[in-house]
């Protein structure tokens, strides 16, 4: 009996500090389960596509995050976020926003994998949050600037007078004998009451899209803003991407969102053009979408979507939803979607 008491006392002494530390600096488990069913077809072009129906995951995720107070206004933090496709096998641990860093009066310094400033400069204008077939990625980011970058160093400033900034540098781990790729990105953001405006700039060295390509430089600029008038929110975005040996690619997007109680309705339109070699016929795509959300609660939402994308004879812009068929040059895809999202 005495031996059992001694063992229990040792166990209590061993594990009590960890339990106290976790109580003072809690670790939070969070996530999202999100699935849609889509029915999509594509007319036009040499290879039209018949109706396809699929159940798709829309960025379901599971994450854990926490902080530790280091004293003197300084905190350490971590986050590990993983995708878990709800419709099929798959997913890789910590393949979403994941990192470790320090938070203080100076702002935040983070090392890891995280959404780049250029991506964040566009996504806040999209009422579909860059998910489902109604999202802005049909016409925005056709030059691969909408990245969740790996191997990054990021600095996030504090908010001063409504202004804040983010800076990111992706180190050159992919350096070869002929290419030294790197990415530099940053934004300046202003948010005050019903108004938000964001300007982002990003430069890719020795890259063509996602491929390491010696001698190619790409530069992207993004200007976006939203304004709220009572139940109405208006979003506008303009984007330009310059790439060595290509014409300047330009894209525009506009959206209107109306909220009435638990009901949310939005309309999005967009267009992109150019981006080919100067002597070629230039691609052009036009996008339109409408969406409806019914918010059962702050955590559970039922949603419906319709989207249409029109490509000219040399364009093969893809509809922005996940797990959709690959559309050919000249295809004009359109389709419906319905699904449910639950966050925790």
| Residue 7 belongs to some domain of the structure | no
| Residue 238 belongs to some domain of the structure | yes
| Residue 24 belongs to some domain of the structure | no
CA distances to 123, 179, 184, 241, 286 from 145, in Å: 12, 19, 11, 9, 19
pLDDT of residue 4: 44
Nearest to 104 by CA among 80, 78, 72, 79: 72
pLDDT of residue 46: 86
CATH assignment at residue 270? 2.40.160.10
pLDDT of residue 113: 95
pLDDT of residue 8: 35
Task: Specify the pTM.
Answer: 0.86
Round to whole Å and give the CA distance between 69 and 26.
Answer: 11
Could you state, in chain order, the average pLDDT of each consecutive group of 10 residues for the chain (344 residues)? 40 37 71 93 88 89 95 96 83 89 97 96 96 93 86 97 97 89 96 98 94 94 98 98 96 98 98 95 97 97 97 91 82 95 96
pLDDT of residue 15: 37
- Give how many domains the chain has, as a whole number: 1
Domain coverage including residue 283: 33-343
SS3 244: coil
> Parallel, antiparallel, or unpaired for β 61-71 and 300-311?
unpaired
| Residue 5 belongs to some domain of the structure | no
Round to whole Å and give the CA distance between 148 and 97.
Answer: 7
| Residue 281 belongs to some domain of the structure | yes
Q: Are 30 and 314 in contact (CB under 8 A)?
A: no
pLDDT of residue 24: 59
pLDDT of residue 21: 39
| Residue 2 belongs to some domain of the structure | no
| Residue 283 belongs to some domain of the structure | yes
| Residue 23 belongs to some domain of the structure | no
- Any idea which residue has 């016929």 for tokens? 281
């Amino acid at each position: 009996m005495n031996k059992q008491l001694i063992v229990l006392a040792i166990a209590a002494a061993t594990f009590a500090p960890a339990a106290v530390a976790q109580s003072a600096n809690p670790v939070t488990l969070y996530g999202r389960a999100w699935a849609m069913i889509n029915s999509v077809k594509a007319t036009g072009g040499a290879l039209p596509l018949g109706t396809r129906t699929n159940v798709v995951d829309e960025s379901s995720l599971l994450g854990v995050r926490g902080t530790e107070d280091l004293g003197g206004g300084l905190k350490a933090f971590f986050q590990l976020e993983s995708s878990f496709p709800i419709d099929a096998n798959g997913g890789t641990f910590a393949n979403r926003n994941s990192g470790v860093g320090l938070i203080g009066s100076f702002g935040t310094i983070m090392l890891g994998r995280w959404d780049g400033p250029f991506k964040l400069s566009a996504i806040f204008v999209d009422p579909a949050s860059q998910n489902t077939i109604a999202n802005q990625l049909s016409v925005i980011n056709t030059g691969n600037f909408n990245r969740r970058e790996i191997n990054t160093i990021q600095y996030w400033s504090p908010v001063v007078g409504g202004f804040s900034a983010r800076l990111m540098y992706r180190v050159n781990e992919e350096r070869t004998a002929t290419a030294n790729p790197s990415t530099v990105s940053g934004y300046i953001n202003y948010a005050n009451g019903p108004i938000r405006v964001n300007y982002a700039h990003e430069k890719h060295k020795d890259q063509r899209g996602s491929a390491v390509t010696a001698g190619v430089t790409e530069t992207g600029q993004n200007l976006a803003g939203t304004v709220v008038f009572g139940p109405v929110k208006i979003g506008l975005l303009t984007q330009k991407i310059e790439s060595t040996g290509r014409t300047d690619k330009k894209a525009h997007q506009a959206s209107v969102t109306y909220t009435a109680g638990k009901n949310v309705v939005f309309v999005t339109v967009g267009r992109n053009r150019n981006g080919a070699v100067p002597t070629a016929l230039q691609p052009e795509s036009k996008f339109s979408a409408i969406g409806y959300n019914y918010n059962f609660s702050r955590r559970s939402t039922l949603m419906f979507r319709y989207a249409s994308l029109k490509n000219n004879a040399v364009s093969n812009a893809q509809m922005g939803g996940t797990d959709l068929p690959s559309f050919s040059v000249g295809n004009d895809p359109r389709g419906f979607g319905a699904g449910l999202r639950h966050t925790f």
